[in-house]
């Protein structure tokens, strides 16, 4: 099986595996206690926090650990809104943000008491800013939206999770500073691969995207950012995230992040060349196909394309049968029967969509084999659907 779905989950980094197995024996105790084994666990936790904070451009006391990137986003959005409830409840976000951002913003803006009226585009209190055909947010519209009265929070991802397009985070952060509005940055797709842009007030990241174990998210809140947790507080994680922390998994996440950043320059160049190959060859090999996302300003490991007259789920199933693990941002699921909101917002083809995302160490031979089998798979699906 050729695993080509790293945008969902990066395989566990060898450095993470080694650190995890070691820390299972030395970091199992409760780091909040005072006896010897607990103090050892606390030292391991503090060291991991310091390493992750440094890698993400934060201070150790700004970083808290969550159960996932999604939970980090939820707590970040709701906490920032709770801290700004006297300003308003209006949230500005790009139209292609991850669903976790949009769902939390919709909930938070609807339930947070506001002193200023919230203007809505779509959901009450949530203003979604349009994007270009490549998925890049309209910076002028974003700046105008955050300057409106009653805006409590702005949200922007570093790179889109479905098409890989990089967002103008630094420029958006400058607009937010001018307006006095905190910016939540969803860095889940690029942390460990690309430098984190400056200017964020709240940051969310996910360890399993950079080769750490699943079950570890990172929530960073800049000093001076008004923040009030939406959950009952306890003595752990600075009151932002209640519950027992998984010290071995956090230590393994720090090891994976350290190793991934050390390899990033060489791996990014290698994977980007393979992505360029896919972007160039797929339209040459497959008729009626649209390659989606910015060809230059993009994450190094993601390429997405849509095939006209093809059912996305059938395409993924056939590719799986032939030994390729890929995903689709637009295949309708039994639960939603709805295509991707990202592709809809971009105004591109929403069916027959394939996202190829290359993991660390992805082989050129697997990419070549994928390009070899894809044309026949698409042709057969179209024939079965009665499309000549």
What are the strands, taking DSSP E only, across the chain? 2-3, 63-66, 90-94, 126-129, 151-157, 183-186, 202-206, 217-221, 289-292, 302-307, 324-325, 353-357
Report the run of H or E that residue 101 belongs to, with start and end: helix 99-111
Residue 148's alpha-carbon distances to 89, 139, 143, 176, 183, in angstroms, are: 12, 15, 9, 11, 15
Q: Is 307 a catalytic residue?
A: no
Distance of CA 242 to the CA centre of its chain: 23
3 backbone dihedrals φ, ψ, rounded to 5°: -85, 115
Q: Which two tokens stand for residue 170?
A: 């630094």
C-alpha torsion sign, points 183, 184, 189, 190: positive
Cβ-Cβ contacts under 8 Å for 224 (sequence gap 6 or more): none
**Rounded CA separation 354/356 (Å):** 6
Active-site residue among 155, 188, 307, 332? Answer: 332
Determine contact, residues 220/198, Cβ cutoff 8 Å: no
Catalogue the active-site residues.
332
């Amino acid at each position: 099986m050729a695993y080509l779905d790293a945008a969902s989950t990066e395989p566990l980094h060898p450095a993470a595996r080694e650190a995890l197995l070691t820390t299972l024996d030395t970091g199992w105790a409760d780091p909040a206690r005072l006896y010897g084994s607990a103090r050892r666990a606390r030292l391991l936790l503090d060291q991991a926090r310091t390493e992750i904070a440094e890698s993400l451009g934060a201070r150790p006391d700004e970083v808290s650990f969550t159960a996932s990137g999604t939970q980090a986003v939820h707590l970040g959005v709701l906490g920032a809104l709770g801290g700004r409830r006297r300003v308003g409840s209006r949230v500005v976000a790009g139209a292609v943000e991850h669903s976790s951002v949009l769902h939390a913003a919709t909930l938070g803006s609807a339930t947070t008491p506001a002193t200023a009226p919230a203007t809505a585009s779509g959901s009450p209190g949530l203003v979604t800013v349009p994007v270009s055909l490549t998925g890049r947010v309209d910076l002028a519209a974003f700046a105008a939206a955050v300057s409106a009265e009653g805006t409590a929070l702005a949200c922007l991802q570093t790179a889109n999770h479905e098409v890989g397009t990089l967002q103008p985070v630094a420029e958006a952060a400058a607009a937010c500073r001018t307006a006095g509005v905190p910016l939540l940055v969803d860095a889940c797709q690029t942390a460990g691969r690309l430098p984190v842009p400056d200017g964020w007030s709240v940051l969310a990241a996910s360890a399993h995207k950079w080769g750490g174990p699943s079950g570890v998210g990172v929530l960073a809140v800049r000093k001076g950012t008004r923040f009030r947790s939406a959950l009952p507080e306890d003595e752990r994680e600075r009151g932002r995230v209640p519950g027992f922390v998984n010290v071995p998994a956090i230590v393994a996440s720090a090891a994976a992040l350290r190793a991934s950043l050390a390899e990033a320059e060489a791996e990014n160049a290698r994977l980007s060349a393979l992505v360029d190959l896919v972007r160039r060859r797929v339209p040459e090999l497959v008729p009626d196909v649209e390659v989606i996302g910015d060809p230059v300003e993009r994450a190094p490991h993601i390429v997405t394309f849509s095939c006209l007259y093809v059912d996305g789920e059938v395409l993924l199933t056939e590719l799986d049968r032939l030994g390729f693990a890929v995903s689709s941002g637009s295949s309708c699921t039994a639960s939603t029967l709805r295509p991707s909101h990202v592709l809809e917002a971009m105004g591109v083809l929403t069916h027959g969509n394939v996202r190829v995302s290359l993991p660390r160490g992805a082989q050129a031979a697997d990419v070549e084999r994928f390009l070899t089998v894809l044309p026949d798979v698409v042709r057969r699906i179209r024939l079965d659907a009665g499309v000549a």
